[in-house]
Structure 1
């Protein structure tokens, strides 16, 4: 495995504090894991979405094929360590999300990471075609931002002060999306009307 990108922290152990984001006083609620550090340019969008909601998370490389024992340990102990959601990204023969889902009681969100060939369709089909009883919530190819937003919704669906806080932020986020869409509609209508006024009338 190549050396990790300096833009994020990859810990030698899933429980290393060096991989935690959100402040040292905050225990991570979301685990963001990937098969290789080369997946980070895609997976960082999940982290950025969680940052918007102030949700603490950890980041790590947990390869299903190159470190299977560590992968199993990560999944088995994730809930005991306080995680509530796992976001797992992988490319090619993307077994990581499904294998984690088979050994954890937590919800797992799978992110298909596109590689040089097949444009990520191999990753998507590897993740989405899970057998009955082992669910993985799969987002679109390279859809890590939606994975982060879905993790935020899962946390917001719980109880307690943190869930209430996240729900309020999600409501504000959705209202902002609506305002942006309405503004785009208004701008489009104004542009069309302006063009209609400047065009010479026929006949």
Structure 2
């Protein structure tokens, strides 16, 4: 496998719809990535192999999982590189089970955990971009522009709303 900046891993193919949001952000920033489906519970040998080889293949891992979402924690316990967790929305508990599985890690095994679902996947990719931009000025400038565009969009929406309400 050739070295990629980011490894995206998810516990099930049902997570792809949400994790595609992270993929889209990484594409927007021009960052090389790889995608794998590995279950911490159903394919623990693959999870172990992926985790112990991760440092050779990636700089950061984004791990999405739902339910008893141990994938990010398992990977983080076996690799020295950052692992960002994305909890998936679940039907039974609305993703709270996923969130708590990721955020309640023991000391020494950090998993920075994003919000549940779509916004979490987007923010995981943006956090990965920010981490990479520490040593990449070109990437940092892309992030500055991204944030400026967010601000400009809010200003456009504000103006449009105020015009519609005849406040301008």
- The answer as to 2:30 corresponding to 1:54 is yes
Determine whether 1:140 maps to 2:115. yes
2:44 is the alignment partner of 1:68:
yes
Q: How many residues align?
A: 166
For 1:86, the equivalent position in structure 2 comes to 61
Runs of 5+ unmatched residues, structure 1: 1-14, 18-26, 197-203
What is the aligned counterpart of 2:103 among 125, 128, 137? Answer: 128
1:154 aligns with 2:138: no
Q: 1:105: Cα distance to partner?
A: 0.5
Tell me the SS of whatever aligns to 2:63: strand
Please give the secondary structure, in 2, of the residue aligned with 1:109: strand
Q: How far off its partner does 1:191 sit?
A: 2.5
RMSD, matched Cα: 1.5
What TM-score results when the alignment is normalised by the length of structure 1? 0.78
What whole-Å deviation, never above 9, does each CA across 1:172-193 have from its counterpart, x for those lacking one? 1011111111111222222333
Instruction: Mark the runs of 5 or more structure 2 residues left unpaired by the alignment.
Output: none
> How far, CA to CA, are the matches of 1:110 and 1:58 in structure 2?
16
Q: Measure how far apart 1:50 and its partner are.
A: 0.4
